[in-house]
């Protein structure tokens, strides 16, 4: 299948809310053309729909590496970072807490970009403002 076929199939599957299949199509298109920013954006946006935010952030970062002025990717990245249930600073880790962090799956860990943005926010506004 040509690249366009994977893209259109992904879009159709996404509209049918068959997100994992849509993501697989975008991944096939990315294999053919890894330097096309919009392919990474489509994959990231679809990952957000199934709440795979860390993976989505990785895609948006790739988009911004390829096209630093990609407004949609920058906006999506900001919105994902600001999702309330995930936008919490890492708790102060005790020895027990550190062990717990080591046991966390990759899905449960805070993405490095999100952690950096949280740290910047805390540095700028203080922890009390995060509510």
Query: What secondary structure, in 3-state letters, does 57-126 show?
Result: HHHHHHHHHHCCCCHHHHHHHHHHHCCCCCCCCCCCCCHHHHHHHHHCCCCCCCCHHHHHHHHHHHHHHC
Confidence (pTM): 0.68
For domain 3-130, the CATH architecture is Alpha Horseshoe (1.25)
pLDDT at position 89, please?
A: 44
Instruction: Give yes or no for residue 94 having a pLDDT over 50.
Output: no
SS3 33: coil
In angstroms and rounded to an integer, the radius of gyration of the C-alpha atoms of the chain is 17
Q: State both tokens at 96.
A: 């027990």
**Maximum C-alpha span of the chain:** 53
Per-residue pLDDT band at 122 (split at 50, 70, 90):
low
pLDDT at position 87, please?
A: 42
pLDDT at position 124, please?
A: 65
pLDDT at position 115, please?
A: 73
Instruction: Give yes or no for residue 54 having a pLDDT over 80.
Output: yes
Which element (helix H / strand E) includes 14? Answer: helix 3-15
pLDDT at position 69, please?
A: 94
- 13-17, 23-27, 28-32, 100-104: least confidently modelled range: 100-104
Instruction: Give yes or no for residue 59 having a pLDDT over 80.
Output: yes
Domains of the chain: which residue ranges?
3-130
Mean pLDDT of the chain: 79
Residue pair 27/10 in contact by the 8 Å Cβ criterion:
no
């Amino acid at each position: 299948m040509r690249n366009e076929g994977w893209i259109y199939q992904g879009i159709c599957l996404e509209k049918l809310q068959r997100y994992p299949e849509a993501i697989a199509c975008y991944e096939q298109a990315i294999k053919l053309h890894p330097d096309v920013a919009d392919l990474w954006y489509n994959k990231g946006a679809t990952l957000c729909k199934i709440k795979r935010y860390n993976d989505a952030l990785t895609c948006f970062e790739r988009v911004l590496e390829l096209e630093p002025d990609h407004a949609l990717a920058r906006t999506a990245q900001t919105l994902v970072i600001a999702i309330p249930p995930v936008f919490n600073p890492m708790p102060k880790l005790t020895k027990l807490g550190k062990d717990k962090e080591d046991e966390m799956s990759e899905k449960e860990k805070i993405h490095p970009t999100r952690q950096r943005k949280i740290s910047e926010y805390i540095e700028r506004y203080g922890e009390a403002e995060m509510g």
